[in-house]
Structure 1
């Protein structure tokens, strides 16, 4: 994988967390859904996420899965840095920062992790090259959608689809130019 890749786990009905902003039902699939993520040693040079995803790691430095991989957090809020993590907090349009993300990645890919809102901004700006979607075998009924775009995207080609166990399916898509 290269370029900018969106990694996300979602329910069968397309939500990344439920209406209470909880991903508790997803925890039973952690071992299966973790395969192919953007952690340290994944071949990515930088990870980008929104404030909601970042907040899920706050207060517990041991839960930070990215080691010393540079992380960029897009936020409108003041957030505390996680000790030992290489974090850059930014405000503004994603297109304004994409070249800097690529530069920080040092010739490797940019991984978008977590929330759909940030990924939708990258998608609407034409900056997402690939998407790795882990479909978890549970329906939430409502919540935050996996990719809340406001306009249609370009066509995506399925690169790979495979079962990861426990009913989890990994779908890897590449977007056409």
Structure 2
């Protein structure tokens, strides 16, 4: 289904909402987030809560899913329908609506959009998942909060195999010393 047709059928947007270092990494080379967690949530919690209120479904890669289970202190997304892209069998937290999928992300995008009930789909991460959605023409927005730190190496924000389309900047929000850039993908 093309982006134009999806817009006519639904107001649901598929959004990659993520924090990044200034040099374009979303995790260190061991999938750690200590570089991000050092900033706390004080400057970000209200902004995050407004974003999260617009979310009706989630998509995660297996690495992000396992990190959330290991480090998150419980499943933080309640009963929101969640797709985990993986080829493996993974545990499911009690009370969570987890659906494991592999293969074509267009089918996952369609299912998540339908389940979102008119709200947005959050591609939580990681970068390879967002890159798959982008390559399939199924990513509508990129919301990146750039943190005032550089890593030099790690997991890239958007590991693409070819040049992306030009993105349209639609918003900027200062969050303490960080800045969120919102891009529409045409």
Report the TM-score when normalising by structure 2. 0.86
**Aligned equivalent of 1:131:** 142
Q: Retained in 1: the 8 A contact 2:59–2:121?
A: yes
* Structure 1 residue 57: Cα displacement: 2.0
Moved over 6 A (4+): none
Sort the Cα spacing of 1:13 and 1:59 in 2 relative to 1 into closer, same or farther, 3 A. closer
Runs of at least 5 residues in structure 1 that lack an aligned partner in the other structure: none
Name the CA shift for 1:96/1:115 in 2 (closer, same or farther; >3 Å).
same
Q: 1:136 to 1:77 in 2, by over 3 A?
A: same
Report what 2:122 is aligned to. Answer: 111
Judged with a 3 Å threshold, the aligned counterparts in structure 2 of structure 1 residues 33 and 77 are, in CA distance, closer, same or farther, namely: farther
The SS at the match of 1:29 is coil
RMSD: 2.1
Specify whether residues 103 and 18 from structure 1 end up closer, same or farther in structure 2 by C-alpha distance, changes over 3 A only. same
Q: Please say if residues 11 and 139 of structure 1, whose CA atoms lie closer than 8 Å, have aligned partners that are also in contact.
A: yes
Q: How far apart, in 2, do the equivalents of 1:143 and 1:20 lie? A: 8
Distance 1:72 1:97 in 2: 7
What residue in structure 2 maps to residue 27 of structure 1?
37
Q: Corresponding residue for 2:152?
A: 141
Q: 1:71 to 1:117 in 2, by over 3 A?
A: same
1:1-177 equivalences in 2 (<5 Å): 2-31=12-41, 32-34=43-45, 36-37=47-48, 42-59=53-70, 62-165=73-176, 167-176=177-186
CA contact (8 A) 1:132 1:171 kept: yes
- Once residues 93 and 115 of structure 2 are traced to their aligned partners in structure 1, the CA distance between those partners, rounded to angstroms, is 19
TM-score by length of 1: 0.90
Structure 2 contact 12–113 (Cα < 8 Å) conserved: no
C-alpha contact 2:83 2:108 (8 A) present in aligned 1: no
Instruction: Say if 1:86 and 1:38 are closer, same or farther in 2 by CA, change over 3 A.
Output: farther
Point out the more displaced range, 94-103 or 109-118: 94-103
Higher share in helix: 2
